[in-house]
């Protein structure tokens, strides 16, 4: 009897191990809520799906039991789930080896649930989610290996939630988002293969793209954005990385003489199509004239004054090289709004309240006014 008791004690004392393992090299599809609810019961050790994960059906309401998943080797499709209100349950997935599609989910309002996702190796499509009002949940996403497309999300006002994103291997497409007014959220994006901004009816602000310095594939397309008035924000794209520019059909676009465009037009090494925009940017000739005037203004400024540091964060100092009498200093944002007025230059000038972006500094003297650009980070 004692031996039996000892045996029971030994058995009880043995730790029970569960093992993480990869599974479903051919992929797995969920079409019902019951299939998702039973996932951990049916596949208790499955944490890494080798193939693709398909979630698609109006019946699916939550993804809670998928919280054991850490990675998906190929693609994730979350499509046409009209009852799904949250992606909670995907919180532990850090990487996707292929594409990610979040498309046609009527009630989805944000992307919380993807908070651990750092890398999408393939394409990432966010499209036709009618109630999507925020990209929150993508806070950890740093890189997208191929194409990134944000299209036809009727309630999406901006790109907030993408602040960690620094690089896109292929194209960035912003298409047909009817209430998107700015690209805020893309502030740390530094490289993409090409940039297409197309048919966003209320978009009027590109300043979030100030840190975009390189489009490795060379294509820059700005087309049919009826409320866009200026290309400010695209200033820092290296002209040598551009091979094609199409700026057309933007009915309100009057300011196209940003540095990237001007530098490219000064020595074009590829295709140019600029037409049917507002006066000032109506065609290529108007833009070239505006570029020349802007260059002369900046050259004259630099002969009389210097600004340091530039880019700046909290303060700038302006040096008066030739002792001109300064009557006023103005700082304008990229919408042409005068946001700071000083009756004299007193160094250093506090700019800590300015948001990151590109600004125009104007110095008015007794004889003339001179302008240049400063970047705030």
At which of 264, 296, 328 does a domain end?
Answer: 296
Q: Domain span at residue 220? A: 16-296
Integer Cα distance of 153 and 64 in angstroms: 25
Q: Are residues 266 and 132 located together in one domain of the fold?
A: yes
Please choose, from the candidates 242, 261, 231, the residue with its C-alpha nearest in 3D space to the C-alpha of residue 334. 231
Residue 18 has what pLDDT? Answer: 42
Please choose, from the candidates 93, 183, 291, 226, the residue with its C-alpha nearest in 3D space to the C-alpha of residue 102. 93
**Which segments of the chain have a pLDDT < 70?**
1-20, 334-335
Integer Cα distance of 168 and 186 in angstroms: 11
Q: Are residues 160 and 181 located together in one domain of the fold?
A: yes
Q: Are residues 178 and 325 located together in one domain of the fold?
A: no
Q: Are residues 87 and 164 located together in one domain of the fold?
A: yes
Q: Are residues 278 and 362 located together in one domain of the fold?
A: no
Q: Are residues 228 and 315 located together in one domain of the fold?
A: no
Decide if 75 is inside a domain.
yes
Decide if 9 is inside a domain.
no
Q: Are residues 177 and 245 located together in one domain of the fold?
A: yes
Integer Cα distance of 253 and 258 in angstroms: 12
Decide if 95 is inside a domain.
yes
Decide if 247 is inside a domain.
yes
Q: Are residues 339 and 204 located together in one domain of the fold?
A: no
C-alpha pair distances (Å), 129 with each of 29, 60, 105, 374 = 21, 15, 5, 38
Cβ proximity of 84 and 105 under 8 Å: yes
In sequence order, the 6+-apart residues with CB closer than 8 A to the CB of 256 are: 230, 231, 247, 274, 277, 280, 281, 287, 290
Q: Are residues 246 and 344 located together in one domain of the fold?
A: no
Decide if 255 is inside a domain.
yes
Integer Cα distance of 89 and 91 in angstroms: 5
Q: Are residues 85 and 103 located together in one domain of the fold?
A: yes
- Provide the number of structural domains found in the chain: 2
Cβ proximity of 341 and 355 under 8 Å: no
Work out the angle at residue 181's Cα, subtended by the Cα atoms of residues 178 and 186, and round it to the nearest 5 degrees.
110
At which of 296, 327, 354 does a domain end?
Answer: 296
Mean confidence (pLDDT) of the chain = 89
Integer Cα distance of 103 and 151 in angstroms: 9
In sequence order, the 6+-apart residues with CB closer than 8 A to the CB of 234 are: 206, 209, 212, 220, 258, 260, 261
At which of 296, 323, 351 does a domain end?
Answer: 296
* CATH number where 62 lies: 3.80.10
């Amino acid at each position: 009897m004692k031996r039996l008791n000892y045996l029971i004690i030994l058995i009880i004392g043995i730790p029970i191990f569960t093992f993480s393992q990869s599974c479903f090299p051919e992929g797995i599809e969920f079409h019902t809520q019951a299939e998702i609810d039973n996932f951990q019961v049916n596949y208790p050790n499955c944490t890494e799906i080798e193939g693709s994960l398909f979630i698609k059906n109006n019946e699916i309401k939550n993804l809670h039991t998928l919280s054991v998943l850490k990675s998906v080797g190929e693609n994730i499709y979350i499509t046409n789930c009209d009852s799904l209100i949250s992606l909670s349950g995907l919180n532990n997935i850090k990487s996707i080896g292929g594409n990610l599609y979040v498309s046609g989910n009527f009630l989805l309002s944000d992307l919380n649930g993807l908070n651990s996702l750092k890398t999408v190796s393939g394409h990432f499509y966010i499209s036709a989610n009618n109630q999507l009002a925020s990209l929150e949940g993508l806070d950890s996403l740093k890189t997208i290996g191929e194409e990134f497309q944000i299209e036809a999300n009727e309630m999406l006002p901006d790109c907030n939630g993408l602040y960690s994103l620094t690089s896109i291997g292929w194209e960035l497409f912003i298409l047909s988002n009817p209430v998107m007014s700015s690209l805020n959220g893309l502030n740390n994006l530094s490289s993409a293969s090409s940039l297409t901004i197309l048919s966003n009816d209320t978009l009027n602000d590109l300043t979030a793209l100030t840190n975009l310095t390189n489009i490795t594939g060379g294509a820059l397309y700005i087309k049919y954005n009826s409320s866009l008035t200026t290309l400010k924000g695209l200033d820092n794209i290296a002209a040598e990385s551009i091979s094609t520019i199409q700026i057309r059909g933007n009915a309100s676009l009057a300011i196209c003489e940003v540095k990237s465009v001007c530098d490219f037009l000064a020595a074009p090494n590829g295709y140019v199509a600029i037409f049917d925009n507002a006066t000032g940017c109506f065609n290529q000739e108007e833009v070239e004239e505006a570029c020349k005037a802007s260059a002369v203004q900046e050259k004259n400024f630099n002969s009389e004054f210097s600004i340091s540091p530039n880019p700046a964060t909290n303060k700038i100092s302006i040096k008066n090289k030739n002792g001109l009498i300064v009557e006023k200093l103005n700082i304008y944002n990229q919408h042409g709004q005068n946001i700071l007025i000083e009756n004299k230059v007193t160094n250093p000038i506090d700019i800590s309240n300015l948001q990151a972006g590109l600004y125009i500094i104007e110095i008015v003297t007794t004889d003339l006014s001179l302008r240049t650009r400063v970047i705030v980070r």
